[in-house]
Amino acid sequence: MPEPKAAPAPAEVTDERLRQFAGYNMKRVYMKVRADMTETLAPAGLRVATFSALAVILENPDITQTQLAQALKVERSGVVVLVDELENADLIARNRVKGDRRSYALRVTLKGRRAWARAEALVHAHEARLFAALSPEERERLHALLRRIDGATD
Amino acid sequence: MPEPKAAPAPAEVTDERLRQFAGYNMKRVYMKVRADMTETLAPAGLRVATFSALAVILENPDITQTQLAQALKVERSGVVVLVDELENADLIARNRVKGDRRSYALRVTLKGRRAWARAEALVHAHEARLFAALSPEERERLHALLRRIDGATD
DNA sequence: TATTGTTATACTCTATAACTATA
DNA sequence: TATAGTTATAGAGTATAACAATA
């Protein structure tokens, strides 16, 4: 039998005290989601933030940058970079608005629609991979619970 | 009736295309959790990261910094800062190990135990607040689902 | 040679504040 | 005066790489 040491480091390290919190488990899962999303979108030439912006512009043609900022819950200064990136890749266009020359009307280009379709498929595959341990019913339950919490804490 | 504009910005902006993804809803919820956790722990003199480190050290007496890094899934260089912070606040002690003078055996102090007890209560209240829209059964379901995903994607 | 803790550095994401041009 | 977009800057969090002491 091995001789005991003075201050032996634990052979196995546990984190049960943190696992009791839903938030800790959410953080662990979210970190994996984020890392995998970054890798998933890289071949499509998108970052997570530009993917999200593209989705909102596609759904809301002629949206302004300020509205986009509100939808994504980020500051206006942050969307400038996102819109620059998408415009430089010819995925969206900044169109001038008649009647108010301060703002732009954002529109997804044809190239942008194609990029979105491809990215959307990649992200669906990503979620199938990450939530593979859950049955379709469980995935739907998780999805609904998360959405309800977000809606309730506005 | 108001005259139509050339390129009118949408009156209401939606994000249904993103809401279809569980990951997007998780991000929205997680951002709120993180922000509220930061505020919750501030009066206890802790950051989210030091709170987590304190929990793991309390649960695994004489753990080394490298083991702590593995448990928290961060780099060793990152735990140096966390351990410094906790040690400077007298919440933990870096004890020398007989037999290996390279590593420390980390231990929570009495003050650290008291700080943990207080912080734990604060975080329980924080979760009750944030997940108030869910019934106890739903909260438990969410908790279990998140934990299963994390366990399955190791 | 390998490992522990450490330091310096850099990178990502996001927020704050000040500026411009328009309204 | 107020608003849309912009720029510069800073902060938080984390990772990478190189180093000294020790094994």
Q: Mind listing the pLDDT tens digit for each residue in A99-137?
A: 999 999 999 999 999 999 999 999 999 999 999 999 999
Contact A148, A140 (CB under 8 A): no
What's the average model confidence in pLDDT over A66-71? 98
B9 compared with A46, residue with greater pLDDT: A46
Fold that domain A21-152 belongs to in CATH: Arc Repressor Mutant, subunit A (1.10.10)
Q: Which of B141, B38, B123, B40 is nearest to A148 (CA)?
A: B141
**Average pLDDT value over all residues in chain A:** 95
pLDDT for residue A1: 32
Q: Is the CB of A94 under 7 A from strand D?
A: yes
Q: Is the dihedral of CA A20, A22, A24, A25 positive or negative?
A: positive
Averaged pLDDT for residues A5-29? 91
Task: Judge contact between A79 and B34, C-beta under 8 A.
Answer: no
Name the closest residue on chain B to residue A150, using Cα atoms: B29
Does strand D come within 7 Å of the CB of A148? no
**Whether B131 and A22 lie within 8 Å, measured CB to CB:** yes
Distance CA A48, CA A38 (A): 6
Length of chain B: 154
Helix (H) or strand (E) holding A93: strand A92-96
Structural domain boundaries of chain B?
20-152
At residue B8, the pLDDT reads 83
pLDDT given at position A7: 63
CA A124 to chain centre: 12
- pLDDT the model gives residue A4: 38
pLDDT for residue B26: 98
pLDDT-derived band at A154 (thresholds 50, 70, 90) equals: confident
* Sequence-separated (6 or more) residues with CB below 8 Å from residue B12: none
For the B20-152 domain, the top CATH level (class) is mainly alpha
Return d(Cα B46, Cα B89) in angstroms, integer: 10
Q: What is the pLDDT of residue B154?
A: 78
What's the whole-model pTM score? Answer: 0.95
> In this structure, is the CB of residue B81 within 7 Å of any atom belonging to strand D?
yes
Partners of residue A97 in chain B, C-beta under 8 Å: 5-7, 9
Q: Could you say which residues of chain B have pLDDT below 70?
A: 1-7
B153: DSSP letter: T
